């Protein structure tokens, strides 16, 4: 079992959103569909089950989604209790039967059966719909971090080409956060037997493996990110991590450093501030701790003319 790192890092450009995020101590858990990698959290389904088993799997996925949606809708209308659950369950069963019937009917269309049997066409359509429902099922909120503050690629891609900053978070909170390590490489496809074991039969180990393969597996080329993730509900929310440090990029203006330090002054937990620097003759980045007092003493600057500085002496 891999131990979680003591510090997680998030690269950001300097903006009003970044300032809001830090001043209010919040994090944004994004929908996976917004990620810059379209294959991230988007598995394909590999069929190794019978058609009847596939129907049961699709029925279960539709039932879970529709029941959850109906309960949310009823909750907004302040309808709760056993009657609400029974109504949601009935609606979900109807929706699942309707979807399966529509797939079976479509599979008989000559467009699909030109080179295959109706059963084979139904299998293909069922797999496609299982993929769609699986992605809906895993529409969680994801917040991404790295274990490195000195990655040139991360500074370029996410730190506004070194003009931004890298925020360091500690896991020293109660309750203790549970970040998950991203796994690079392996297959993007998931077998239907694994889905059935996890979602139909509820096998705990199968559920754990499915969560890993959907939410935590990326192409090997992304390995430089050294990524860990927090999984939760989508949207902006209070940070479950402890903000402890801010590192400024190579090109980050001194005025931005000053503004950020001023904005975060007075926090209950004092922050440490660092600035990146380059190692001569090498493609290596290091950081050094900032003397914030010296930096703050030079800001803000009031522009003065030479006459205001030296006095206007008429000769």
The predicted pLDDT at position 312 comes to: 67
Q: How many CB atoms lie within 10 A of CB 192?
A: 20
> What is the value of pTM for the model shown?
0.86
Domain spans of the chain, in order of start? 7-38+143-186+223-297, 44-137
Among candidate residues 299, 231, 232, 239, the one with its CA nearest the CA of residue 269: 239
The predicted pLDDT at position 20 comes to: 95
For residue 89, give both structure tokens.
């369950």
The predicted pLDDT at position 21 comes to: 95
The predicted pLDDT at position 313 comes to: 60
* Burial grade of 61 (CB within 10 A; 0-12, 13-18, 19 or more): buried
The predicted pLDDT at position 308 comes to: 76
The predicted pLDDT at position 3 comes to: 83
In the chain, which stretches have pLDDT less than 50? Answer: none
User: By the 8 A CB rule, do 274 and 34 touch?
Assistant: no
Tell me the Ramachandran region of residue 97: left when phi exceeds 0, alpha when psi lies from -120 to 50, beta otherwise.
Answer: alpha
The predicted pLDDT at position 63 comes to: 96
The predicted pLDDT at position 286 comes to: 95
For residue 53, give both structure tokens.
């088993």
């Amino acid at each position: 079992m891999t131990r979680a790192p003591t510090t997680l890092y998030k690269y950001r450009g300097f903006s009003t959103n970044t300032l809001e995020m830090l001043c209010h101590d919040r994090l944004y858990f994004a929908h996976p569909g917004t990620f810059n990698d379209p294959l991230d959290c988007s598995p394909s389904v590999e069929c190794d089950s019978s058609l009847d088993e596939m129907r049961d799997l699709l029925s279960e996925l539709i039932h879970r989604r529709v029941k959850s949606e109906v309960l949310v809708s009823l909750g907004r209308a302040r309808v709760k209790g056993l009657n609400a659950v029974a109504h949601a369950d009935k609606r979900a069963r109807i929706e699942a039967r309707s979807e399966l019937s529509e797939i079976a009917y479509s599979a008989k269309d000559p467009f699909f059966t030109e080179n295959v049997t109706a059963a084979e066409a139904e299998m293909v359509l069922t797999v496609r719909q299982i993929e769609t429902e699986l992605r809906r099922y895993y529409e969680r909120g994801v917040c991404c971090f790295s274990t490195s503050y000195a990655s040139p690629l991360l500074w370029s891609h996410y730190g506004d080409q070194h003009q931004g900053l890298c925020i360091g978070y500690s896991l020293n909170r109660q309750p203790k956060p549970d970040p998950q390590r991203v796994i690079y490489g392996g297959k993007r496809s998931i077998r239907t037997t694994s889905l059935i074991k996890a979602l139909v039969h509820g096998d705990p180990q199968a559920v754990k493996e499915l969560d890993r393969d959907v939410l935590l597996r990326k192409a090997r080329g992304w390995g430089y990110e050294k990524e860990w993730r927090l999984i939760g509900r989508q949207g902006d929310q209070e940070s479950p991590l402890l903000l402890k440090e801010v590192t400024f990029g190579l090109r980050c203006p001194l005025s931005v450093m000053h503004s950020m330090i001023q904005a975060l002054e007075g926090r209950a937990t004092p922050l440490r501030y660092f600035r990146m620097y380059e190692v001569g003759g090498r493609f290596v980045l290091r950081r050094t701790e900032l003397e914030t007092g010296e930096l703050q003493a030079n800001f803000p600057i009031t522009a003065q003319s030479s006459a205001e500085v030296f006095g206007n002496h008429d000769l």
